[in-house]
Every structure is written in C-alpha cells, then in structure tokens.
Structure 1
C-alpha cells in the first residue's frame, strides 16, 4: 500500500512541476502584480484586467501552442519573463498612445491594446514556430 501512495505523490509532483504548468504559474505570478501596477500607475480600471488576461493566458497559450519545449525549465521561465515584459511594454505603449495621443476613451484604448498585443503574441509565435 505505501508504494501506491508514493506513486500518487510522485505523479502529482511530476504534474505540478511539468514545464507546461510551471510556465502557467510564472505567467500568473508576473501578471497579477503587473496588472496591479498598471492600475495604480496609469489609473486605468478597464486596462488592468485586459493586461492581466494578456499576460496570464496569452503568454502561456503561445508557449504551449507554438513554442518548442526547452530542455531546461529555467529557460522556459526566462522565456515567460521576457515575453511578459515585451507584452507589457507593447500593451502600455498602445494604451497610452490611444488615450493621450489619439484622445480615445480608456475602454476602447485598452480593448485595442489588448487585441493588438494578444494577437501579436500569438502571431509572432505562429510565424516563428508555426505548427
């Protein structure tokens, strides 16, 4: 009976530490404080949730759908950190350009920034490693 318990524990550990799941964990851990910071600094109630969705769902989906798995998990973590940084920069830049330069209301500006960033992350992944 103890071997069954050990097998279950080992199986759960393997699933929890699988590269795909670690990518999701890291993206969420980056997305939550980043969205909070965006909300605090830019004072954009509409944009923070869409930035959160871009980072917490768009980045891991791109990695899982288009990017080949790395031989080391730390490389996947680095990929997520770099991609989240780039996506945050693009989203924030587009949002600020929409609200400040084009004088668009915050909600349409954040929706546009979300659409361009989310689709851009997926498009780059597809073009780079399309499957």
Structure 2
C-alpha cells in the first residue's frame, strides 16, 4: 500500500505525538499528591503543576492543519487500524468513516484526544508493513 501522505510526514506526526504525550500527565492528580508530600519534597513535584507547554500541541495541530482532508482522513484511518477498530482488510470502510469524520469537523481534536496517538498510528502503519525505521529522527 502506498499512503496518500508521504511516509516522512506521517513519521513526523508520530514524533510530534510522542512529544505531546510525554508532556501530558494522564492520570496524575497534583492536588492529591501534594497533600501527601512534605514541604521540602514539594519542589520536586512542582514541575508537574506547571502549565503544559502549548508549543508542542501547536506544532502537532499545525501538522494536521497542513494535511489535505483526504490525508487527515488517512491518518485517522491508520489510527483506527492501529487501535483495532478496523482490520487492515477493512481499509476502505475505515477511510469512508474517517472521511465522514473529517467532513463533520473536529477530526483534529479527536486525534489530539486519542490515547496513545503515536503508538496506535505506528501500529496502523505496521499493519500495512510501513515503518518509520530509518526515517528522520524516528526509529
């Protein structure tokens, strides 16, 4: 399968998604943890209380914005295959659903809210024997 979106672009999105996920504490409750920490240890946890750097999210959002609608649908379909929502053999059905999602709007927010975006996208690519190995900084 040859994706509509260049593989290096897909790999760049995966790299940005990894950076985005790395800075987003998923189930850390700073308030609860602070209640259980001595004052001298509190400084060590204060970094988790800081505002998330929005630059990485903006870069990832810009990467999605730069894609055509069909390419954005393709990214979404790769993610769904990677999650197991669709099998690789159901690609046409996944693309039809993704195109509907893109046309309805909010696809970028859906992708940004997707748990483990980088991993599911990589798994989706792998289902079609595509890989980011050796492309750019992604390995």
Given the two structures, how large is their TM-score scaled by the length of structure 1? Answer: 0.25
Instruction: Choose between structure 1 and 2 for higher RCO, CA contacts under 8 A separated by at least 6 residues.
Output: 2
Given the two structures, how large is their TM-score scaled by the length of structure 2? Answer: 0.24
Greater percentage in helix: 1
